[in-house]
Amino acid sequence: MLNVGKIEEGFVLDHIQAGKSLTLYYNLGLDKKDCTVAMIMNAKSGKMGKKDILKVECDIDDLNMDILAVVDHNITVNVVKDGEIVEKKELVLPKEITNVFKCKNPRCITSIEQGLPHIFVLADEKKEIYRCKYCEEKYKQRVKTVVQ
Amino acid sequence: MRHLMSPLDFSVKELDDLFNLANDIEKNPKKYAHACEGLKMATCFYEPSTRTRLSFEAAMLNLGGSVLGFSDANSSSAAKGESVSDTIRVISCYADICAMRHPKEGAPMVAASKSRIPVINAGDGGHQHPTQTLTDLLTIRSMKGRLGDFTIGLCGDLKFGRTVHSLINALMRYEGIHFVFISPEELKIPDYITEKLKEAGITYEEVISLEDVMPKLDLLYMTRVQRERFFNEEDYVRLKDFYILTPDKMEKAKTDMLVLHPLPRVNEISVEIDDDPRAAYFKQAQYGVYVRMALILTLLDIQVTE
């Protein structure tokens, strides 16, 4: 049994689909932040069989909930203060998400127009489909995070 | 200030008003001959399109206005690397309304967001071509007397044809329409469109034979198989003449069925049909001018009373 200690302040992301935590690490831009991250992969889960967990020690305002919701809104977000879970945040799909994902359609105006924000709009809430605001191309998982 | 990016930007009621205006223009062209006097339309065409550009220019000239612009990206500042946002800011200083065609999808929307004048999407890549859809709707409404309660056959390239997708989306807002999708297996209508129809409770059928369904159609919308959409020339050659509308097929059709085509036509409609009173495709081109005139007046908020 592997033990990872408590964090003092930050967040614990639980119920991440097994194997997805590394993608999430990059999607959230944690590689560019000055914070300590513990990545637990393939942990046993009664609900999911196997799951990943991310423990991030940082300012709680640093977490972009919109990105989390788009990537997987089933993730449980626990906010930690003074070593204790003080809040569980519910993830809601944002109506619009800006400069997080890049449109991959080579015919989209975002591929040539400088300084144009990459905006995805929630086109179908039931099916969780996002489309590029400009060309209406469907957002597919595993798109690269926009380099800021 | 309003722009036109997609045919769905206008409500059904607004479209009715637009089409009523277009029909009035058709009946009384002189009444509108000076409506846009002193006003200028910029036609910014980043890729060649003779038909659409001339239709816009004819529309503005018919209204007494003037036109300026460019007809391909090489003769514009885009060749020097200017962004669409910058170009439209400058064009806003020169003209009162702009029609833009661009190979990049969403370019007219970017222009509209920075523009001080109304922008009309005159086609953006394989994405939208709203004035073609408005033309199709006006033609159907004017020649059939209604937009609804009919069986429409869409034939040819239903996979890549943006005019077809756009027309289906626009017609979905009207009652009593049954769609018949006629295409080879390789050019079938995309699933996301049929799913949308199912969700909306709209009936449709998918067939390969045009001949078999001819007797039931009130409208037949023919399309060209576009060479530029194929990666492989062999597939194009095999499919390009899959459907050819000939006089013997027309014999099986209703006497008041209309044949529509966004043009240009290649082989898919035999020239022998051109004189058939049911051939509506050249009238459709004429309606394209009327609907663009009505659109210019609407976006510029010009009312003509006498």
A134 at B interface, C-beta within 8 A: yes
The CATH architecture one would assign to domain B131-284 is 3-Layer(aba) Sandwich (3.40)
Q: CA nearest A108: which of A98, A99, A116?
A: A116
Burial B53-89 (b: 16+ CB within 10 A, else e): bebbbbbbbbbebebebbbebeebebeeeebbbebbe
Does A109 sit within 8 Å of B110, measured CB to CB? yes
Domain with CATH 3.40.50.1370 in chain B: 7-128+286-299, 131-284
Q: Which two tokens stand for residue B204?
A: 């449709």
A116 at B interface, C-beta within 8 A: yes
Chain B residues within an 8 Å CB radius of A115: 83, 85
Q: Which of B13, B27, B80, B255 is catalytic?
A: B80
What pLDDT score was predicted for residue A1?
A: 65
Contact B149, B218 (CB under 8 A): no
Q: CA nearest B121: which of B105, B95, B91, B99?
A: B99
**Sheet containing A84-89, strands listed edge to edge, beginning at the edge strand earlier in sequence:** A36-45, A49-57, A10-17, A76-81, A84-89
B127 at A interface, C-beta within 8 A: yes
Q: Does domain B7-128+286-299 have CATH number 3.40.50.1370?
A: yes
Interior angle at CA B239, CA B236 and CA B242, nearest 5: 155
What is the pLDDT tens value at each position of chain B, 306 positions in all?
999 999 999 999 999 999 999 999 999 999 999 999 999 999 999 988 889 999 999 999 999 999 999 988 777 777 778 899 999 999 999 999 999 999 999 999 999 999 999 999 999 988 889 999 999 999 999 999 999 999 999 999 998 888 999 999 999 999 999 999 999 998 899 888 998 899 999 999 999 999 999 999 999 999 988 776 666 788 888 888 889 999 999 999 999 999 999 998 989 999 999 999 999 999 999 999 999 999 999 999 999 987
- Which domains are assigned to chain A? 10-89 (3.30.70.140), 94-148 (2.30.30.20)
Q: How confident is the model at residue A6 (pLDDT cuts 50, 70, 90)?
A: confident
C-alpha B140/C-alpha B22 separation (Å) is: 13
A44 at B interface, C-beta within 8 A: no
Does B125 sit within 8 Å of A135, measured CB to CB? yes
Does A109 sit within 8 Å of B106, measured CB to CB? yes
Chain A residues within an 8 Å CB radius of B85: 113, 115-116
**Which ipTM did the prediction report?**
0.86
Contact A105, A132 (CB under 8 A): yes
The full length of chain B comes to 306
C-alpha B99/C-alpha A12 separation (Å) is: 52
User: What's the whole-number mean pLDDT along residues A9-20?
Assistant: 91
Clarify whether B52 is annotated catalytic. yes
Reply yes or no on whether the pLDDT at A78 is more than 80. yes
Does B102 sit within 8 Å of A108, measured CB to CB? no
Q: Are strands A10-17 and A49-57 parallel, antiparallel or unpaired?
A: antiparallel
Does B126 sit within 8 Å of A109, measured CB to CB? no
Give the three-state DSSP class for B269: strand
* CB nearest to B104's CB, from A108, A133, A136: A108
What one-letter code names the amino acid at B214? M
C-alpha A53/C-alpha A43 separation (Å) is: 8
What pLDDT score was predicted for residue A90?
A: 83
B265 at A interface, C-beta within 8 A: no
